[in-house]
Amino acid sequence: MHGTELIATIAIGLGAAFVGGIIARRLRLPAIVGYLLAGVVVGPFTPGLQANPEIALNLAEIGVALLMFGVGLHFSIRDLLTVRRIAVPGALFQIAVATGLGIVVGLAFGWDAVSGLVLGLAVSVASTVVLLRTLRSRRVAPLVEGEPARVAIGWLIVEDLFTILALVLLPIVAAVTGGEGMSAGEIARSVGLALGKASLLTALMLIVGARFLPWLVAHVEDDGSRELFTLAVVAIGLGTAVAAAAVFDVSLALGAFLAGAVLSESHVSERAAKDVLPLSDVFTVLFFVSVGMLLDPAILVEDPLAILAVVAVVMVGKALAAVGIVALLGGDTRTGLTVAFGLAQVGEFSFIVATSATALGLLPEVGFQLIVSAALISVAVNPYLFRLVPLLERRLKEMSS
């Protein structure tokens, strides 16, 4: 029965995502909106055909690992260094601003400071997937190509790296705030141990993995078997993620990202990314569907003001902070607007932080609902914001002249 339920969950989830994605595209919305809404339709909070949410969440773990593996495969230190002057300090300062706003909003909701901090951290990071797909749109790409787009992508990469670090520390925060009565020394040792494990894993991957894994994949490629090459790439991505979690007690996301990152500098990286993309797409879609299944539509009616407050942090607070930061760092108007609108949404990393924090008891269930609701709204509106870049650029130049 369990095997049948597994197949049914995959079939229902993918079928609903296909229909939702088609409808979203016809309405000129990002497909992610359709996937999230598909999850709502087949979730436990709505009547009709339902998928098993527990199985869907397990499948979503594969989606997270493959998603992070793909991010690592496309990660480039060289590209990040070319825009480091704006992207690195700008991203870190913007995360601090958004996290501060999250704390303020959380306290206004009657939460404790830690829950507000998690809310702010979750919505501080935008979706790289949404940004890339928006920038590749025929209506948007000519307006924001070149340096502005590179700065925006580099900015989001810094956010992704920071969030991976935050995922390593979340269990420690849960232990400290969970009534375990840890002293300052114990907290320092726990933080040091967690960072030490993550650093050791990173060092092993960069020193040993960077030599062995590209050699292994290149050797398999020389064999000429397409299926063995794809199998090797997927096994490396998922195997490293599981080994990192089991041996070093870090998140699957960190292990998968590092596996992709060490392969990104090899000559087989483009083929690896191309071969793993279809499988990654399927499980990433299931990840978004599983997130949608956790959304209770009743919150849209019961607490619309709270949703608007979180949306305001995402689409107004983050955007204004980005414009100001870029201006202070010497960026031009188009770069500031591109980064601002690129950040005015939340996506996959926000869901990863929210689900992890909810499981650890750091975020109330309503907090997760607010984050997913804000994601639906911000991702749906985001592509249209980019079309305002030329108009706002002209207005700002007129005001400054």
Q: Given pLDDT bands bounded at 50, 70 and 90, which one contains residue 120?
A: very high
Between CA 38 and CA 265 the distance in angstroms is 37
pLDDT given for residue 139 in this prediction: 57
Query: Which is more confidently placed, 142 or 191?
Result: 191
Q: Given pLDDT bands bounded at 50, 70 and 90, which one contains residue 109?
A: very high
The yes-or-no verdict on residue 123 having pLDDT over 80 is: yes
**Candidate from 14-18, 26-30, 34-38, 323-327 with smallest mean pLDDT:** 26-30
Residue 260 near residue 72 (C-beta atoms within 8 A): yes
The yes-or-no verdict on residue 341 having pLDDT over 50 is: yes
**Candidate from 136-145, 244-253, 371-380 with smallest mean pLDDT:** 136-145
Most confident segment among 1-15, 85-99, 117-131, 287-301 = 85-99
pLDDT digits (tens, 9 = 90+) for 144-159: 567 777 888 888 888 8
pLDDT given for residue 1 in this prediction: 45
pLDDT given for residue 395 in this prediction: 80
Percent of the chain's residues with pLDDT above 70: 93
Tokens matching residue 81 = 């260094």
DSSP state letters, 276-291: HHHHHHHHHHHHHHHH
Per-chain mean pLDDT for the chain: 84
Between CA 251 and CA 315 the distance in angstroms is 29
pLDDT digits (tens, 9 = 90+) for 227-257: 899 899 999 999 999 998 888 887 787 888 8
Give the residue extent of every domain in the chain. 61-290+299-400
Between CA 241 and CA 257 the distance in angstroms is 8
pLDDT given for residue 184 in this prediction: 64
Query: Which is more confidently placed, 15 or 261?
Result: 15
Q: Given pLDDT bands bounded at 50, 70 and 90, which one contains residue 189?
A: confident
Residue 73 near residue 273 (C-beta atoms within 8 A): yes
The yes-or-no verdict on residue 354 having pLDDT over 70 is: yes
Model confidence, pTM:
0.81
Most confident segment among 95-99, 202-206, 346-350 = 95-99
pLDDT given for residue 38 in this prediction: 93
Q: Given pLDDT bands bounded at 50, 70 and 90, which one contains residue 265?
A: confident
pLDDT given for residue 144 in this prediction: 56
The yes-or-no verdict on residue 325 having pLDDT over 50 is: yes
Average pLDDT for 94-119: 93
Write the class of the CATH domain 61-290+299-400: mainly alpha
Question: Of 290, 286, 71, nearest to 159 (Cα)?
Answer: 71
pLDDT given for residue 177 in this prediction: 76
Average pLDDT for 161-165: 83
Most confident segment among 47-56, 114-123, 190-199, 372-381 = 114-123
pLDDT given for residue 181 in this prediction: 57
Average pLDDT for 192-207: 85
Query: Which is more confidently placed, 326 or 136?
Result: 326
- E strands, 236-291, in order: none
Residues in the chain: 401
Q: Given pLDDT bands bounded at 50, 70 and 90, which one contains residue 14?
A: very high
Average pLDDT for 52-68: 81
Between CA 93 and CA 86 the distance in angstroms is 11
